[in-house]
Amino acid sequence: MGPNGAGKSTLFKLALGLIRPSTGTISVLGQKPWGNPGLHSSIGFCPDYESLPSESTGREYLSLVGGLHAMKGATLSARIVEVSHLVEMNRALDRKIGGYSKGMKQRMKIAGALLHDPDMLILDEPLSGTDPLVRREIIDLIKRLNKENGHDVVVSSHVLFEIERMTHDVVLIYKGRAVATGDISEIRDLIDKHPHNIIIEGENIGVLAKALLDEGSTVSVSYNDGRKGITVQVSRPDDFFNRLPDLIVQSGTSVTKMYSLDENLEAIFRYLVGR
Amino acid sequence: MDLERAFTGIIAITRHSFKKLVFSRKAVITLLIAVFVAVVMGYAGAQDVDPLPDGTDMLDTLILFFFMPVMAMIYGASLIRDEIDDKSITHVATAPLDRAFSYVGYYIPLASAVAVSMFVVTTAGFLAFFAQNDLGGEALEVYLEFTVLVTVGAFVYSALFLAVGVLFKKPMFFGLFYAFIWEGFIGSLPGAIQKFSVKYYLRSVGSGWVDYGRMSTFEEASDPLGSGLVLLGLLIVFVVLGAYLFRETELT
């Protein structure tokens, strides 16, 4: 997990031998990845970018991937059917990939990564650009791949709550370095210990601002540009979020938008590395 | 590396790339060039000509030495480069297949597609010219000889431009320079300098076969067999160089 530009994709490229380490060494499943194509038998990779041949059908794409993994004939055909069922793409197998939705493309990429039944799956931002429904489906799929099919899955994301729904084991990366490793709840606790900045926008926001100032969890309240919104700094986010619905009702405020600046990983990481 | 495994991988890439080349917009370019050549040679054939030498010179100038390298450049320079740029190379780069073998999987369909394209263009030009004059045994012999020459040229130029596509991020600039300036100009200069072009060796090979036109009287020609071996050597050098570069390329 890490904000954009933290080095998640670079780490995966190093792990897959797509780029060479400029310093230090990297070992994956006990082997050096650069110049070692044999390692790819044990790894399935789903990149975060569009990599599918749009002019091919899903079946043709999977046949190509299978051929590259020395699979052929009836074994390959059966595996394509099996994997496409697993990712729920069996009905779209004979359609051109160019006509797939974003979610379908993500699932097809995962199918390509799964085809040769690797020990380890590397999924780079598998949820990016997908709508909430597809996101939930892919999260469920990833959990299934681990729990039911026994794959070790490494997933990258810059969205904290998405990762929380998949796993509790996280490594936080920031500017190319691992800044924290362990259980996600410990990181949550760390995050909760430092003041949160929450933006609230809506009608009659001034009354809500006054009410918030009387709350013990509120550190400060300031108006944003145009006085249409406020930035609330809170010391105990859980207490704040528990009280907020009542305060909104009591103040007669109509909230149109609310988001936490601290959900932005960049802010969290700045905090974790003490900047 | 298990050879059967490598062979299956090469077949998979070959099949995918050949389909991609043949059913791409580049196939339209082939058809347009074939129509252009047919129109030009058809017009020339309708004039007062000495069919065998003039027809041979037309095939020589228009097809073998102009469109041959241009076609190989259009197909070859972008084949791997486009996949690197749009990152669709990922499934090849993350396969348990040495990239040198993957490279061969790109080279075979490329050379085949260029050879097929040049065969279409040669046939169109030949029929447009000779159908109006003489479609006898001698003309068919010329057709057969040029078909073999464009096939040899397709394999050598494809090897060159595929390697160029891996070496340069903007291979078209080098490709244009090479096809038009180097092959077109340097390859036509008198003296030893022309020996630095592929065109010279193709022409030397042709001088041993073709009985009509300027090619048959190519005075500066090298020994046809030796020239054939030079072309084979160039092909091997270009393929090995391209495969090495592809292996060492970081895919960011």
**A254-260 and A196-203 as β-strands: parallel, antiparallel, unpaired?**
antiparallel
Q: Rounded to a whole number, what is the distance in Å from the CA of A136 to chain B's nearest CA?
A: 26
Residue identified by tokens 């190509």 is: A64
pLDDT at residue number B186 = 81
- On the question of pLDDT at B1 being above 60, the answer is no
Overall domain count for chain A: 2
Domain boundary among the residues A134, A154, A183 is at A183
Q: What are φ and ψ of residue A222, in 5° steps?
A: -135, 145
Q: Inter-chain contact A70–B96, Cβ cutoff 8 Å?
A: yes
User: A98 is in which domain, residue-wise?
Assistant: 8-183
Cβ pair B40, B132 in contact under 8 A:
no
Cβ pair A16, A47 in contact under 8 A:
no
Q: Rounded to a whole number, what is the distance in Å from the CA of A165 to chain B's nearest CA?
A: 28
List, as one string, the DSSP characters of B50-114. -HHHHHHHHIIIIIIIIIHHHHHHHHHTTHHHHHHHSSTTHHHHTSSS-HHHHHHHHHHHHHHHH
Percent of chain A with pLDDT over 90: 43
**Mean pLDDT highest for which of A146-160, A161-175, B230-244?**
B230-244
Say yes or no: A145 and A202 in one domain: no
Q: Smallest Cα–Cα separation from A169: which of A185, A147, A157?
A: A185
Fill in the DSSP letter of residue B250: -
Secondary element (H or E) of residue B121: helix B99-130
Break chain B into its structural domains and give their ranges: 3-175+225-248
Give this prediction's pTM.
0.84
Q: Rounded to a whole number, what is the distance in Å from the CA of A228 to chain B's nearest CA?
A: 43
What band does A268 get if pLDDT is binned at 50, 70 and 90? low
Higher pLDDT among residues A121 and B49, named by residue: A121
Which of A16, A61, A68 is facing B92, going by the closest CB pair? A68
Domain boundary among the residues A150, A183, A216 is at A183
Q: Smallest Cα–Cα separation from A14: which of A122, A158, A147, A112?
A: A122
Name every chain B residue with its beta carbon within 8 A of the beta carbon of A37: 95-99
Say yes or no: A174 and A200 in one domain: no
Q: Inter-chain contact B94–A20, Cβ cutoff 8 Å?
A: no
Which of A20, A35, A68 is facing B91, going by the closest CB pair? A68
Cα diameter, chain A:
72
Q: Positive or negative, the Cα torsion across A110, A112, A113, A117?
A: positive
Percent of chain B with pLDDT over 70: 100
Q: Smallest Cα–Cα separation from B160: which of B87, B241, B39, B53?
A: B241
Size of interface A-B (CB pairs under 8 A): 84
CATH number at residue A209: 3.30.70.100
Angle ∠(A68,A72,A76) on CA atoms, nearest 5: 95
Q: Inter-chain contact B5–A70, Cβ cutoff 8 Å?
A: yes
pLDDT at residue number A128 = 80
Kindly state whether B100 is in contact with chain A, defined as any CB-CB distance less than 8 angstroms. no
CA distance A37 to A70: 13
Say yes or no: A241 and A146 in one domain: no
Provide the 10 A C-beta neighbour count for residue B196. Answer: 13
- Look at residue B241 and give its three-state secondary structure: helix
Kindly state whether A260 is in contact with chain B, defined as any CB-CB distance less than 8 angstroms. no
Inter-helix orientation angle B3-22/B99-130, to 10°: 40
pLDDT at residue number A1 = 87
Residue identified by tokens 């970018």 is: A49
- C-alpha distance from residue A143 to each of A3, A136, A271 (Å): 23, 11, 30
pLDDT at residue number A181 = 86
CA distance B97 to A62: 16
What is the mean pLDDT of the segment spanning B138-143?
A: 91
Say yes or no: A135 and A216 in one domain: no
Q: Inter-chain contact B96–A67, Cβ cutoff 8 Å?
A: no
Say yes or no: A149 and A264 in one domain: no
Say yes or no: A241 and A172 in one domain: no
Say yes or no: A170 and A104 in one domain: yes
What band does A4 get if pLDDT is binned at 50, 70 and 90? confident
Kindly state whether A19 is in contact with chain B, defined as any CB-CB distance less than 8 angstroms. yes
Q: Inter-chain contact B99–A65, Cβ cutoff 8 Å?
A: no
Mean pLDDT of chain B, nearest integer: 91
Residue of A nearest to B11 (CA): A67
Q: Smallest Cα–Cα separation from B95: which of B5, B181, B205?
A: B5
What is the mean pLDDT of the segment spanning A149-165?
A: 85
Secondary element (H or E) of residue B166: helix B137-167
Q: Smallest Cα–Cα separation from B31: which of B67, B83, B78, B73?
A: B67
- On the question of pLDDT at A273 being above 70, the answer is no
pLDDT at residue number A275 = 54
Residue identified by tokens 């370019």 is: B29
CATH number at residue A80: 3.40.50.300
- Look at residue A12 and give its three-state secondary structure: helix
Say yes or no: A144 and A163 in one domain: yes
Q: Rounded to a whole number, what is the distance in Å from the CA of B1 to chain A's nearest CA?
A: 8
Q: Which residues 97-136 of A are in CB contact (within 8 Å) with B?
A: 112
CA distance A196 to A194: 6
Secondary element (H or E) of residue A147: helix A132-147
Say yes or no: A157 and A251 in one domain: no
Q: Inter-chain contact A65–B92, Cβ cutoff 8 Å?
A: no
Q: Which residues 49-88 of A are in CB contact (within 8 Å) with B?
A: 49-53, 55-56, 60-61, 63-72
Kindly state whether B91 is in contact with chain A, defined as any CB-CB distance less than 8 angstroms. yes
Which residues lie closer than 8 Å to B81 by C-beta, 6 or more apart?
Answer: B165, B166, B168, B169, B171
Name every chain B residue with its beta carbon within 8 A of the beta carbon of A52: 88
CB burial readout A242-255, b (16+ within 10 A) else e? ebbeebbeebebeb
Kindly state whether B3 is in contact with chain A, defined as any CB-CB distance less than 8 angstroms. no
CA distance A215 to B252: 51
What's the start-to-end Cα distance of chain B, in Å? 25
CA distance A240 to A259: 13
Mean pLDDT of chain A, nearest integer: 87
Which residues lie closer than 8 Å to B85 by C-beta, 6 or more apart?
Answer: none
Q: ipTM beyond 0.95?
A: no
Say yes or no: A217 and A125 in one domain: no
Q: Smallest Cα–Cα separation from A261: which of A232, A241, A238?
A: A232
What band does B50 get if pLDDT is binned at 50, 70 and 90? confident
Kindly state whether B39 is in contact with chain A, defined as any CB-CB distance less than 8 angstroms. no
Q: Is residue A3 situated within a structural domain? A: no
Structure tokens at A209: 């601002």
Say yes or no: A124 and A47 in one domain: yes
Q: What are φ and ψ of residue A4, in 5° steps?
A: -55, 135
pLDDT at residue number B8 = 93
CA distance B124 to B119: 8
pLDDT at residue number B49 = 83
Q: Positive or negative, the Cα torsion across A262, A263, A266, A272?
A: positive
CA distance A32 to A26: 6
pLDDT at residue number A264 = 55
Structure tokens at A245: 């619905």
Note the pLDDT tens digit of each residue in A212-259: 998 888 889 999 877 788 999 888 777 888 888 999 999 888 888 888
Interface test with chain A among B5, B90, B104, by most A beta carbons within 10 Å = B90
Higher pLDDT among residues B210 and A271, named by residue: B210
Domain boundary among the residues A151, A183, A215 is at A183
List, as one string, the DSSP characters of A61-116. HHHHHHHHTT--HHHHHHHHHHHHHHTT-GGGTTSBGGG--HHHHHHHHHHHHHTT
Q: Rounded to a whole number, what is the distance in Å from the CA of A60 to chain B's nearest CA?
A: 9
